[in-house]
Amino acid sequence: MELLYKDDYFIAVNKPSGFHVHPHENVQHRVSRDKICLYHARRMMKQHVYPVHRLDAATSGVLLFALSSQAASQICKLFTERATHKTYQAVVRGYVKDEGQIDLPLELDSTGDLVDAKTTYKRLGTIEFPVAVGKKFPTARYSWVEVVPHTGRYHQIRRHFNRISHPLLGDAVHGDSHHNRFFRNDVGIEGLCLRALRLEFTHPWSGERVTIEAPTCEKWNKIQNLFTPSVLGASPLKSL
């Protein structure tokens, strides 16, 4: 787990996919301590740290921890007041518009009540494979998108894109199992195609603008190359 930023108040790490932020709230759902970012961050800093926001276990990217309870209170306030700007990248099924807004209410995971939820996106690239995945279309189309969630609802990005019939690749809960399998077995890209690329906010103590960005990795290099026109002459399909 790579350290991306550190000052006297908080740290930012690059969370790997498959790691939980903290122990599961349900004691019956046990997760190995080796797969919990909170414990890795404590060992890294040799002190107690405080989680201030969440990323899904399958999502990689920028994750903050506060270094004191007082700092945690201030940073949590930024998220509560929507004073942070979060940028994600994802791969979705089908061709989305060049840019768009998803303004669909979502159910709270705690009570089921509908609450407002807003997500905006812009398309970074598209690709089409001459393969029928499922029975509906003769080819398989995908979009690489940059996504900004303006609210922080549970699985917001994943649920919103599923609601507009463009589910994320590798999403076992809200996605398309046929396309997930195709991307994993034939394209060679495993897991959820979602990462927290960038986090921006005004520092509560210094007043300076802070921008923290996740570095690239093998998986996202492969995704970027997949959607780069210059490399599309050679088929990225493992079976072709």
Q: Compute the CA torsion angle 190, 194, 200, 203 (nearest 10 deg).
A: -70
Give the DSSP letter string of 96-122: PPSEEEE---EE-TTT--EE---EEEE
The answer to whether 48 touches 70, Cβ cutoff 8 Å, is no
Phi/psi for 31 (5° steps) reads -125, 135
Is 56 a catalytic site residue? yes
- Strand 50-51 and strand 114-115: the pairing is unpaired
Residue 18: CB atoms within 10 Å: 12
Phi/psi for 189 (5° steps) reads -115, 115
Rg of the chain over all Cα atoms, to the nearest angstrom? 19
Q: Which residue in 7, 8, 34, 56 is the catalytic one?
A: 56
| Catalytic residue IDs | 56
